[in-house]
Amino acid sequence: MKAMDDRRLETMVGNLLRTGVLLAAALVSIGGVFYLLQHHADPVSYRTFVPGADGVRTFSGVVHSALRFESVGWIQLGLLLLIATPVARVVLAVVGFALERDRLYVVVSLIVLVILVASLLRAV
């Protein structure tokens, strides 16, 4: 008997992704409400691009900002969680293919994972 088939694996992954998205949306909403309570009357313009501070551009910066209870930090933490959902999907695919003893697709998924991590490492 196969311990794991494609179908069960995909259902598991699908549910995990949805939970991640809902959790991310909750964090973004909480941060958004606090941001608007504090800054609703501030004038804003996004006409010219200015790269933001480390607090919104790096993982450690975002975590620190969120721990200081800054509203934008919470929003950004939610967005990081969101970005993590497809990565989690690939990690689970590696595990699933390994359980199926499908060596070819373990390698394929690992290549995708390495590419993702290489991109995300830029924001450490």
Interface residues with another protein (CB under 8 A) are: 6-7, 9-11, 13-15, 17-18, 20-22, 24-25, 28-29, 31-32, 35-36, 39-52, 56-58, 72, 75-76, 79-80, 82-83, 85-87, 89-90, 93, 104-105, 108-109, 111-112, 115-116, 118-123
* CA-wise closest residue to 117 among 99, 96, 91, 95: 91
Question: How far is Cα 62 from Cα 76, in angstroms, rounded to an integer?
Answer: 6
Q: How far is the CB of 67 from another protein (least distance, A)?
A: 15
Toward another protein, which CB reaches closer, 2 or 46?
46
In the numeric block, the tokens 């699933």 are attached to: 96
| Contact between 12 and 99 (Cβ < 8 Å) | no
Cβ distance to another protein smaller for residue 48 or 68: 48
CA dist 78 and 81 (Å) reads 5
Our CB check for another protein shows the closer of 99 and 108 to be 108
Shortest distance, CB of residue 1 to another protein, whole angstroms? 20
Least distance in Å: CB of 101 to another protein?
13
Q: For the beta carbon of residue 62, count every other beta carbon within 10 angstroms.
A: 24
CA distance 89 to 78: 17
Nearer to another protein, 1 or 51 (CB): 51
